[in-house]
Amino acid sequence: MVSEREVIQIIQGYLKESPRSATPFGDDVATLRIKGRLLAVLKVDMFVRETDAVPGMSLSQMARKAVVSTVSDFASKGVQPLALMSSMALPPGMSKSDVAELASGLSSAAEEYETYVVGGDTNQASDLIVDIAGFGLAEEPIMSRGGARPGDILATTGTFGETAASFKMFFEKMTPPDDLKTRLLKSVYEPKAHLKQGVALKESRCVTASIDSSDGLAWSIHELSKASGVGFQLTSIPISENALSFAEMFHLDPCQLALYGGEEYNLVVAVKRKLWKEAVKAVENVKGRLYKMGEVVETPGIYLSTNREKRRIQPIGWEHLKERRPRTHKN
């Protein structure tokens, strides 16, 4: 079966790149030069219930997550989305209250990230699909995936491991006590885009490369490596206390949970070493936190070094059409 990334490569092979483009195919957003340094920033992301929803997820949470997925890519470029548009394909049997719940999720998410849903389209399909397109304006340069240089500090805006633990609860029947279960489930039911942190980092001009971690931490670092032509030496990974508790309870490697989970929306950034303190302050000023993970190196390859071992980080992450979660809904 053709994989999602192979599909993208095939499609890109048939497309002409716009002479107005300011970012290459494959970055988190598309950009078009409007006038001078002014860019139009565009992004679209799709939520399909069969492949993207997890058991127990409400319709409101599904719509909200569709918005978060798009907003997170704006966050990784440090751009505030000015407007969103939503296309919805609804399966037969949806009630008025179902549609109202979806609309409520869209509205609350847009308000959360200080943007607006200004229009869209509706259609019918065999399963629920919520597609979100975003638009914003920014001045060059925006933070891209390329640009990391040897000596830069690799950092992230959040902790990891909770979504991977949640997926193990759903699909491998690992069930912790209710209080821990509730805390872990929040990571997949109510994910957060780190928009304020991204905008603050862009304004600080401390970042040389940036990506969001929705496809998993390991995969995201490999994408930065490929785009920037560098390697990374990690010395630590910020792992959630909840994920650490889950790993200890079920005798799992917490680093595996943190590296190869996915659907976390932290930003992974390379920061100029001499501007590290300024970057930390910029994120703290918007009530966020910047965690140091390691540094950029010239030699290709990505490794995690601890007191006990040095391990190679594999380029593994979530990929549609290649990996399928168990179906969780009838429609």
Which string of DSSP letters, residue by residue, matches 53-90?
--TT--HHHHHHHHHHHHHHHHHHHT--EEEEEEEEEE
Q: Read off the pLDDT band of 328 (50, 70, 90).
A: very low
- The mean pLDDT of 164-169, rounded to a whole number, is 96
Q: Read off the pLDDT band of 111 (50, 70, 90).
A: very high
Pairwise CA distance, residues 119 & 186, whole Å:
29
Q: Is the pLDDT of residue 329 over 60?
A: no
Amino acid at the residue 103 = A
Q: What is the mean pLDDT of the chain?
A: 93
Q: Percent of the chain at pLDDT above 90?
A: 87
Q: Is the pLDDT of residue 321 over 70?
A: no
Q: How far is CA 279 from CA 135, 140, 201, 247, 307, in A?
A: 26, 19, 6, 31, 28
- The mean pLDDT of 254-282, rounded to a whole number, is 96
- The mean pLDDT of 213-238, rounded to a whole number, is 96
The answer on 216 and 130 residing in a single domain is no
Q: Is the pLDDT of residue 326 over 80?
A: no
Q: Read off the pLDDT band of 324 (50, 70, 90).
A: very low
The answer on 192 and 87 residing in a single domain is no
Q: Is 224 helix (H, G, I), strand (E, B) or coil?
A: helix
- The mean pLDDT of 280-298, rounded to a whole number, is 98
Looking at the domain assignment, is residue 255 inside a domain?
Answer: yes
- The mean pLDDT of 65-82, rounded to a whole number, is 98
Pairwise CA distance, residues 203 & 206, whole Å:
8
Q: Read off the pLDDT band of 306 (50, 70, 90).
A: confident
DSSP state at residue 274: G
Window from 260-274, 283-297, 314-328 with minimum mean pLDDT: 314-328
Looking at the domain assignment, is residue 147 inside a domain?
Answer: no
- The mean pLDDT of 61-80, rounded to a whole number, is 98
The answer on 103 and 27 residing in a single domain is yes
The answer on 157 and 135 residing in a single domain is no
- Tell me the whole-structure pTM to 2 decimals: 0.93
Window from 24-28, 131-135, 151-155 with minimum mean pLDDT: 24-28
Q: Tally helices (H) and strands (E) across the chain.
A: 11, 12
Contact 140, 221 (CB under 8 A): no
Say which CATH number the domain at 125 has: 3.30.1330.10
| Consecutive H or E run containing 144 | none
Non-local (6+) Cβ contacts of 319 within 8 A are 3, 4, 5, 215
Q: Is the pLDDT of residue 3 over 90?
A: no
Pairwise CA distance, residues 255 & 216, whole Å:
12
Say which CATH number the domain at 285 has: 3.90.650.10
* Higher per-residue pLDDT: 133 or 319: 133
Number of domains in the chain: 2
Sign (positive or negative) of CA dihedral 100, 102, 103, 107? positive
Q: Is the pLDDT of residue 139 over 50?
A: yes
Q: Is the pLDDT of residue 160 over 90?
A: yes
Residue 33: give the domain boundaries: 4-139
Looking at the domain assignment, is residue 330 inside a domain?
Answer: no
The answer on 185 and 70 residing in a single domain is no
